[in-house]
Chain A
Amino acid sequence: MTFREAIRKAMSDEMSADRNVILFGEDVGVYGGCFKVTEGLWKEHPDQVIDTPVSEEGFTGMAVGAAMMGLRPIIEIMYADFYTLIFDPIVNHAAKTHFMSGGQFCCPITVRLPEGSGTGHGAQHTQSPEALFMNGTGLKIVAPSNPSDAYHLLRASIRDNNPVLFFEHKLLYPMDGEISPEPVELGKAKVIGNGLDVTIIAYSHAVSTALETAELLHGMGINATVVDLRTLNPLDKETIFKQVRKTGRAVLIQDPNGIGGIEAQVCASICQDRETFSSLKCQVLQFSGKDTPIPFSKDLERLTIPQADKIAIEIGKLF
Chain B
Amino acid sequence: MIDKNLSIDALRIMLNSRFFEEKTEELFKAGLIHGTTHLANGQEASQAGLCMALDDGDWIVPTHRCHGFTLCKGSWPVAMFAEMFGSRQGLAKGLGGSMHMPDKENCNLGSSAVVGSGVPLATGIAFYKKFESLGSASFAKSTTQNPKELPPVPVKNLSVAIFGDGASSRGSVHESMNLASIWKLPVLFYCENNRYGMSAPSDKMISVDKVSERASAYNMPGKVVDGNDFEAVYEAVREASAYIKAGNGPYLLEVMTYRFKGHSKSDRRLYRTSDEEQQWLLRDPIILFEQKMIENGYATKEEIDRIEQECRKGIDLQAETALKESFDKLTEDEVLNLVYATREDRS
Interface residues of A, Cβ cutoff 8 Å to B:
19, 22, 29-30, 42, 46-53, 55, 57-71, 88-89, 92-93, 98-108, 137-138, 140, 161-162
Q: In the complex, which of the residues B175, B176, B343 contacts A161, with contact meaning CB atoms closer than 8 Å?
A: B343
Which chain A residue has the least Cβ–Cβ distance from B100? Answer: A100
Say if the beta carbon of B29 comes within 8 Å of chain A: no
B183 to chain A, nearest CB (A): 9
A65 touches which of B123, B340, B343 (Cβ 8 Å)? B123
CB pair A106–B347 under 8 Å, yes or no, is yes
- A88 contacts B347, CB within 8 Å? no
Cβ contact within 8 Å between B140 and A48: yes
Q: A47-B140, A50-B140, A58-B176 are known contacts. Are A98 and B124 too (CB-CB below 8 A)?
A: no
B141 at the interface (CB under 8 A from A): yes
A105 and B343 contact, CB distance less than 8 A: no
28 sample A-B contacts, Cβ–Cβ < 8 Å, listed by A number: A22-B131, A46-B138, A49-B140, A51-B143, A51-B144, A52-B179, A57-B175, A61-B121, A62-B123, A62-B124, A64-B124, A65-B121, A65-B127, A65-B159, A66-B124, A67-B347, A69-B347, A92-B114, A99-B95, A101-B104, A102-B94, A102-B102, A104-B92, A104-B102, A106-B341, A106-B345, A161-B341, A162-B340
Question: How far, in whole Å, are A19 and B338 apart by their CA atoms in the complex?
Answer: 28
Residue B166, interface by CB 8 Å: no
Say whether A68 contacts B125, CB under 8 Å. Answer: yes
A102 and B96 contact, CB distance less than 8 A: yes
Q: Which residues of A contact B129 (CB under 8 A)?
A: 69
B291 contacts the other chain (CB 8 A): no
**Complex Cα–Cα for A61 and B120 (A):** 5
Does B342 sit within 8 A of A, measured CB to CB? yes
A280 CB to nearest chain B CB (Å): 30
Answer yes or no: B117 CB below 8 A from chain A CBs.
yes
Q: Are A66 and B341 in contact (CB under 8 A)?
A: no
A50 pairs with B345, CB closer than 8 A: no
Contact A50 B339 (CB under 8 A): no
The answer to whether A65 and B125 touch across the interface, beta carbons within 8 angstroms, is: yes
Which B155-209 residues sit within 8 Å CB-CB of chain A? 159, 171-172, 175-176, 178-179, 182
Considering only residues 77-104 of chain B, those with a C-beta below 8 Å from chain A are 90-96, 100, 102-104
Chain A residues, CB < 8 A from B343 = 161
Closest chain-B Cβ to A85's Cβ sits at a distance in Å of 9
With the chains together, A101 CA to B129 CA distance in Å? 21
The answer to whether A46 and B121 touch across the interface, beta carbons within 8 angstroms, is no
* A62 to B347 alpha-carbon distance, docked (Å): 16
The answer to whether B347 and A66 have CB atoms under 8 Å apart is: no
Chain A residues whose CB sits within 8 angstroms of the CB of B138 once the complex forms? 46-47
Given contacts A47-B140, A64-B121, A161-B341, contact A105 B95 (CB under 8 A): no
Whether the pair B179, A105 counts as a contact (CB closer than 8 A) is no
Check B43 for interface membership: any CB of A closer than 8 A.
no
Say yes or no: A70-B128 contact (C-beta < 8 A), given A46-B141, A50-B143: yes
B227 at interface by CB-CB < 8 Å:
no
CB neighbours of B139 from chain A (8 A): 22, 47, 50
Contact of A53 among B90, B103, B172, B182 (CB under 8 A): B182
Q: Does B122 contact A (CB under 8 A)?
A: yes
Expressed in whole angstroms, the Cα–Cα distance for A29 and B117 within the complex equals 27
Q: Tell me if A47 and B141 are in contact (CB < 8 A).
A: yes
User: In the complex where A53-B179, A70-B347, A102-B93 touch, is A162 in contact with B125 (Cβ < 8 A)?
Assistant: no
Q: In this complex, what residue of A is CB-closest to B94?
A: A102
**A31–B112 CA distance with the chains assembled, in angstroms:** 35
- A57 — which chain B residues lie within 8 A by C-beta? 120, 171-172, 175
Q: Which chain B residues lie closer than 8 Å to A59 at the CB level? A: 120, 175, 179
* Closest partner residue, chain A, to B138 (CB atom): A47
- Report which of A65, A99, A103, A107 forms a contact with B122, defined as CB distance below 8 A: A65
Is the pair A58, B143 in contact by a Cβ cutoff of 8 Å? no
Question: What is the minimal beta-carbon distance from A299 to any residue of chain B, in angstroms?
Answer: 39
Which chain A residue has the least Cβ–Cβ distance from B114? Answer: A92
Name A137's closest neighbour in chain B (CB-CB).
Answer: B339
A42-B140, A105-B109 are known contacts. Are A68 and B124 too (CB-CB below 8 A)?
yes
A65: nearest residue on chain B (CB-CB)? Answer: B124
- A62 and B177 CA atoms in complex are apart in Å by 11
How far apart sit A275 and B119, CA to CA, in the bound complex (Å)?
50
Q: Does B110 reach chain A (CB closer than 8 Å)?
A: yes
Besides A53-B179, A93-B121, A104-B102, 5 more A-B contacts (Cβ < 8 Å) are A65-B128, A92-B112, A105-B109, A106-B345, A108-B347
